[in-house]
Amino acid sequence: MAICFPCEDALWDARCAEDWYTVLSTNSSYGSSTERLQGMDMAYAMDNICALRQLEPPIMMTSFGLFIAVHVVLCELYTTCSWKNLHRAPQDHDTGNDSDIQRVRHGLHNIYICWNVSPDRLSHAPSSGGDAPPFSSFGKLGSSLSHITHPFDQKYQRCRSIGLGRSPY
Q: What is the 3-state secondary structure (H, E, C) of 15-48?
A: CCHHHHHHHHHCCCCCCCHHHHHHCCEHHHHHHH
**pLDDT tens profile 1-40:** 789 999 888 898 999 999 999 999 999 988 888 889 888 9
The confidence band for 101, taking pLDDT boundaries of 50, 70 and 90, is confident
Q: Tell me, what's the pLDDT at 140? A: 64
42-46, 87-91, 113-117, 152-156 — most confident range: 42-46
Burial (CB count within 10 angstroms: exposed 0-12, middle 13-18, buried 19+), residue 119:
middle
Amino acid at 81: C
- 93-to-78, 98, 116, 146 alpha-carbon distances in Å: 18, 12, 36, 11
| Whether the Cβ atoms of residue 113 and residue 55 lie closer than 8 Å to each other | yes
Number of residues that make up the chain: 169
Q: Does residue 145 carry a pLDDT above 80?
A: no
* Residue bearing the bigger pLDDT, 150 or 18: 18
- Domain residue extents for the chain: 39-161
Q: Tell me, what's the pLDDT at 21? A: 92
Q: Tell me, what's the pLDDT at 136? A: 63
**pLDDT tens profile 55-99:** 888 999 988 898 899 889 888 888 887 766 655 554 554 554 578
- Rounded mean pLDDT of 120-142? 59
